[in-house]
Amino acid sequence: MDNSLNENGLASSANEVRTSASNPLTFASWLIASKTAPVSQPTFLISRQGLGILQTASASKTVTLLEAPGGYGKSTLLSQWRDRLIAQHNIIGWLFLDEDDNNPSILLSYIIFALSKGGLPTTDALTQLVEALPHQQPKAVLGMLLNIVAETATEIFLVLDDFEALDEAVVEAVIAPLIRLAPDNFHLMIAARGHVRFGAPQLAAQGRLQKVGPAQLRFTLPEIEEVFRGQLSRAEILQVEELTQGWPVALQLLRSWIQQDPRRAGDIAAMSGLTDDIVEYVSDQIVGSFPPSVHTLLMEAAVLQHFSEEDLRDVCGDDIDWQAVVTCEPLRPFLLPHEDRDRTYRLHPIVKEYLLRNLAERAPARKQELHEKATWLYARTDRLLPAIRQADQSGDLELEAQVIESAGGVQIWLRHGLTITKSISHMLSQELLDRCPRLALLRALVLAKEGRVADARVLFQRTREKSDNFAHDRPGVDPAALKRDGLMVESTLLVNDCRAATDVYLENYERLVGEVYRESEFYAGHVKTFLALSHHQRGRFDTAHVYAREALQHYSHERVWHGVIFLHLHLGVIAFAQGRPEATGHYLDARAVVLQYFASDRSKSLLIDPLLAEHHYERNQLTVARRHMANVLGRLNTTEAWMEIYAAACLTAASLTFDDKGVEGALEIVSKVRQDAENRGVSGLSIFLHAADLLFLARADLMDRARGHFEALGELCLDKRKASEDATTWREQEIIYLARAAFALRAGEAQAVRNELADATSHFLRSKNIRSYIRIGALQARALQQLDEPSAAFALLADILEHCRETGYVRIFHEEHGLLADLLQDFVAHAPAKKAYKASMVYGKALLKELEGMPSSNAGKLTVRELDVLQQLKEGYQDKVIARNLSLTENTVKYHLKSIFRKFQVTSRTEAVREAQRKAL
């Protein structure tokens, strides 16, 4: 089956589940319809009118809790109440819970599925919710569901049977808020064998809880008389009451046993007074009355949750006598038909448990064999979690591994989503992880997706070493599959660790993936998304654009909306870097998908807002940028992110803070991002964040502190080049050049960065990275001016200004106005009157006028090198002597003098010395 499921395991496929012919809602194919229908009631069931008042009272309570051990008829009673509520035109959903529901996304999917099947109207809001299920966070799903319920005029009931199957975490995540926030028209009916924890005492104190316990569920004497309907005398009825204590299942079993042979009524006195003994005795008597072939077949059928004739033939063999089963009169009360599927049944839980114990005692080898066959039955029908549980019950670790590996190993994430993958990961024993590298890789993937990147990396490396770089697995296992799984996990770690793939890695990736990804559009979408992101991070925008467009088509066709959002973000960043206007369009397209399918999921907006803020910031639209950045950093650690998101959020927020609060505020922002990265185990941001520290220290003229960062950054970059393990992203390249140039130009060391800036400027222009070309090119032009190369400086600046005019990317001139204002003044005043410079000259004048009105946080504050020059000036030295004394060129000395004049607002050397004396410098 070609499923296309998302990261939460909730999506459509070729075999989608539809609620009814009149209901167009389409649910994921892995949802088991039998979990949303009560068992058919036995024909001899009594109505228990005495408990009808409790059902009436349930309409005024948020929760009705039936809490009692097994066999007290909780499900049977709720089934009766359900029929009455339906007759009264209420909406009522039914859900049998099991261990597989211990995942918030799975549980919520089943709750919505059950309510839909129970009559919840198909409104636009419900349709939108169902379509968004694969992509929404549980909290958002819950909010949308409660809004739909509140807007429904009818009373809505939801039965949760076998509630004890849920663990405390999922109760806290789903059930507790569902109860706490429930509208007045929503009512839960819960059946549980043990004590439940969802704030029952508080609910009781608020009058919102109705609790029904064993004392109320026990049959009264009149009800016991009705059960046996004249088969027993008054004395025998009293004896039955004493022996069974009104336990419903004991009465049911006892009645069936007597019905088979009325003469058995006289044997009641021989029974023990212990309830367990009664059940054991009656079970033995009832099962013992089955024909031997039926008894044997039922023992084997007990390994299945539900079974049809086809299922039994598949698991037990072709020679089964199906007719003997369905026509066995003593079995009728305990063979419970599936409400929605013809000729499909399940055994009464008490009888099922008895038969399984019987099978384990009589034929343990056969029981293991049946579990193995049931494993493959469920695996073939794409019921992966039940298949794994059957394999676990067989005790065969190799079988469990084979099921998971045959389902795709790590690729289960693509076919069944992250929710199902997490559930599988939690079922894996340490022994399985140690012996099966593909399963260890699956666990590593889950750890990475949970934000535990460091733990994922450790497990990945250990698995790589144990498998000799993914070359060796257990005998009989496809080594190519292990290689592909290793590659998928490694690529995921690269992205989540904010590192870029090398050329060698990408070549190896595409070679190993080969044609496999073409088997499904979802897999193709995943592969091409990774390739698009990798090439984009390396600055190969044209190649990245092609991959991203193809991936967008795959995801759109499969309605994988979270993938569509990510692709619009990738395409938006590509357009932003290239200075193309459609960048905002892609970000807004991503926002539109969020509003349509993830209206309550704020985590998706956390990915879009930093990119929109960055785009507006680059165009000097600071008010809009601040609005998008509001509270982003404080919440970014709640969602999955990658280099682009971290870089845009960190640098934009820190730059805005630098303007508002100064350098220490900016450095605090960088520190917060560094701490979040360390908490997640993300190592790929180290150089980026170190460069950000240097950049803001240099812009604040804190040159002593900046010099240490300048030297350390050079060492970090050198170490990275030597390691050759990772490629450098264009964002890392840009901020490294920006930071080094900001320091060197202020330190009067333009020559030290001249060549690297020239190479960077040329590289960014060739790769069509206009954003970086403008930023680095502007500083390169300033370096050329300092080095007394005005013609080259003016030619470069003219081209930079032309690109600024076309894109609106002018922020670098505001950030570095202390360095670039002089450059613009010289360009406007002294550039040749060339036709090619005309438009740039006009734009430069307008930009210069804008900069001249800016307050400067560094106005009047001299750098260390400027103080050195000023001291030489006070000594009366000329430029040539100052240059010799300070080991500078004359042009650099002139540059520093002009800067001193500007900061002191003077026009001569004499005035500068006088101003220095006045300031006591």
Report pLDDT digits (tens) over 639-680: 778 999 999 999 999 999 999 889 999 999 999 999 989 988
- The winner for highest mean pLDDT among 126-140, 591-605, 610-624, 631-645 is 610-624
Residues 6+ apart with CB under 8 A from 475: none
Give the tokens for residue 63. Answer: 């929760």
What is the pLDDT at residue 231?
A: 80
- The winner for highest mean pLDDT among 358-372, 442-456, 884-898 is 358-372
SS3 at position 686 = helix
180: part of which helix (H) or strand (E)? helix 176-180
The overall longest dimension of the chain from CA atoms, in Å, is 130
What is the pLDDT at residue 3?
A: 34
Residues 6+ apart with CB under 8 A from 812: 774, 775, 778, 779, 820
What is the pLDDT at residue 331?
A: 83
Q: In whole angstroms, give the CA distance from residue 389 to residue 643.
A: 39
SS3 at position 683 = coil
What is the pLDDT at residue 299?
A: 93
SS3 at position 889 = coil
pLDDT value at 132 more than 90: no
Using DSSP bridges, classify how beta strands 186-192 and 63-67 pair: parallel, antiparallel or unpaired. parallel
What is the pLDDT at residue 285?
A: 67
pLDDT tens-digit map of 445-503 = 999 888 788 899 999 999 999 999 999 998 888 888 898 899 889 999 999 899 899 99
Give the tokens for residue 412. Answer: 């289960």
Q: In whole angstroms, give the CA distance from residue 42 to residue 394.
A: 33
Between 9 and 163, residue with greater pLDDT: 163
pLDDT value at 598 more than 90: no
- Residue 118 DSSP code: T
pTM of the model: 0.69
SS3 at position 468 = coil
Between 887 and 97, residue with greater pLDDT: 97
HEC assignment per residue over 251-306: HHHHHHHHHHCHHHHHHHHHCCCCHHHHHHHHHHHHHHCCCHHHHHHHHHHCCCCC
SS3 at position 88 = coil
**CA-CA-CA-CA torsion for 912, 914, 916, 919, nearest 10 degrees?**
-140
pLDDT tens-digit map of 547-583 = 999 999 998 988 888 889 999 999 999 999 999 999 9
Count the Cβ atoms, other than its own, within 10 Å of residue 417.
Answer: 27
Between 619 and 197, residue with greater pLDDT: 619
Percentage of the chain exceeding pLDDT 90 = 46
The whole-number average pLDDT for the span 497-521 is 81
Distances (CA, A) of 398 to 423, 445, 570: 19, 21, 41
User: For 32-46, 294-308, 387-401, 868-882, which range has the lowest pLDDT when averaged over its residues?
Assistant: 32-46
Between 730 and 43, residue with greater pLDDT: 730
User: For 118-127, 268-277, 326-335, 697-706, which range has the lowest pLDDT when averaged over its residues?
Assistant: 268-277
CA distance between the termini of the chain: 80
Percentage of the chain exceeding pLDDT 70 = 89
What is the pLDDT at residue 724?
A: 54
Asked if 81 and 58 count as a contact pair (C-beta separation under 8 A), the reply is: yes
What is the pLDDT at residue 850?
A: 84
Q: In whole angstroms, give the CA distance from residue 4 to residue 12.
A: 6
SS3 at position 89 = coil
pLDDT tens-digit map of 209-234 = 999 988 888 888 888 888 887 788 88
Distances (CA, A) of 313 to 334, 370, 375, 380: 21, 11, 14, 15
Mean pLDDT (the chain, rounded): 85
Report residue 720's pLDDT band, with 50, 70 and 90 as the boundaries: low
- Residue at token pair 């949760």: 160
Q: What are phi and psi of 485, to 5 degrees?
A: -65, -40
pLDDT value at 726 more than 70: no
